[in-house]
Chains A and B, each alone.
Chain A
């Protein structure tokens, strides 16, 4: 049973560029969330997607956007990259209904470096 998978694992961008990160949830999960983890900090909630809609959003600017596809996979897009966007981006999935609802499983993250 594959867990949460994320791609790419590492990437380097320059200021002003745009980036897309991808996430496939754990089998049987239907909701995906994204977190930003700066070096030495705890993860910060960006947003959550369920039924292909953004359901909840943290304190992040509109430069951060996302999408969920019918197969429950998700993308995180960041436009006009700033140096401060350098971080580990974590994807987490869970199921909204059924057993063990709300138990989050995390991927290994995508390490973004902005130069």
Chain B
């Protein structure tokens, strides 16, 4: 069975600094997606960034980027120029397959990110 592990329950970063959140996963599949979601106190899960396993190039979305190491089954999230609004719980998630047929995401336990002014 696929598993997702986030080994950092809590992280803290100074405003304008850079922080990296770690995630490892286990799967025997070759086609899959990886995601980072942000969940602020409002509770709504917000997609931060996604990575298709077949793409070697690391995904980037503005201040957010990933370091995808497929052989090592590692998927870390780097947040540059951290802002107070980045404070939230961050979840790493895995989804097998391509296309939209399945909505089954497997989530890690989350990393609570605090941003210090």
Q: Which residues of A come within 8 Å of B, CB atoms?
A: 31-33, 35, 40-45, 48, 55-56, 58, 88, 90, 92, 94-97, 101-109, 111
Contacts and interface: CB of A to CB of B under 8 A. Distances in A.
A66 B43 CA distance: 22
Among B44, B45, B110, the most chain A Cβ lie within 10 Å of the Cβ of B45
A88 B42 CA distance: 12
Among A33, A35, A43, A56, the most chain B Cβ lie within 10 Å of the Cβ of A43
Contacts of B110: 40-42
Contact of A104 (B4, B99, B103, B108): B103
Nearest to B1: A59
B47 interface: yes
B107 A109 contact: no
Interface residues of B, number: 25
Interface of B: 4, 33, 37, 42-47, 50, 91, 93, 95, 99-110
A108 B105 contact: no
Given A42-B91, A42-B110, A108-B42, A103 B50 contact: yes
Contacts, number: 74
A63 B107 CA distance: 23
Contacts of B99: 96, 101-102
Among B93, B95, B101, the most chain A Cβ lie within 10 Å of the Cβ of B101
B104 A56 contact: yes
Nearest to A108: B44
22 contacts: A31-B103, A32-B103, A40-B109, A42-B4, A42-B91, A42-B109, A43-B105, A44-B107, A48-B103, A56-B102, A56-B104, A95-B100, A101-B99, A101-B100, A102-B100, A102-B102, A104-B105, A106-B37, A106-B44, A106-B46, A108-B42, A108-B43
In the A-B complex, the 3 residue pairs with the smallest Cβ-Cβ separation, listed nearest first, are A101-B100, A42-B107, A106-B45
Given A42-B109, A102-B33, A48 B104 contact: yes
Contacts of A106: 37, 44-46
B100 A94 contact: yes
A104 B47 contact: yes
